[in-house]
Homo-oligomer: A and B are copies of this chain.
Amino acid sequence: MKKYNISVEATLEVIGGKWKPVILCHLIHGKKRTGELKRLIPNITQKMLTQQLRELEHDGIINRIVYNQVPPKVEYELSEYGDTLSEILSSLCLWGEKHIIKKYGDTKDYLEDSVLNH
């Protein structure tokens, strides 16, 4: 029975770390296959990706959808509970864009183009 000093610690336990917010920001735009996520997050390793996905699944934030076929097909999506985070995640993305603009004047040279950034 852990005691938190401030409630944000509980949030960080679930979505803290280097990769989880990135993964979740991709998932707010719809479900993704493992390989898609790997392409969207070029610097993540297979190990880190599956490790973080397992933890998010364990905390009820995402659903893992397994299709019984060969070669395997697995999709990940925000769960209903994970949806309660989507506003926060969007705000985090938006703030990041504004921060890049403030720091560099423009996002063009600093932000990979993709449907996610508009």
Residues of A within 8 A of B (CB): 1-12, 14, 16, 18, 21-22, 25-26, 40-43, 81, 84-85, 87-89, 91-100, 102, 107, 109-112, 114, 116-117
Contacts and interface: CB of A to CB of B under 8 A. Distances in A.
Contacts of A116: 6-7
A5 to B, nearest CB: 5
Contact of A110 (B1, B18, B97, B107): B1
A7 B28 CA distance: 14
A26 B41 CA distance: 32
B91 A7 contact: no
- Tell me the interface secondary structure of chain A in the complex: helix
B10 A96 contact: yes
A42 to B, nearest CB: 6
Contacts of A16: 18
Closest 6 CB pairs of A and B: A7-B96, A10-B96, A11-B96, A7-B97, A5-B112, A8-B93
A110 B98 CA distance: 36
A8 B96 contact: yes
A99 B9 CA distance: 11
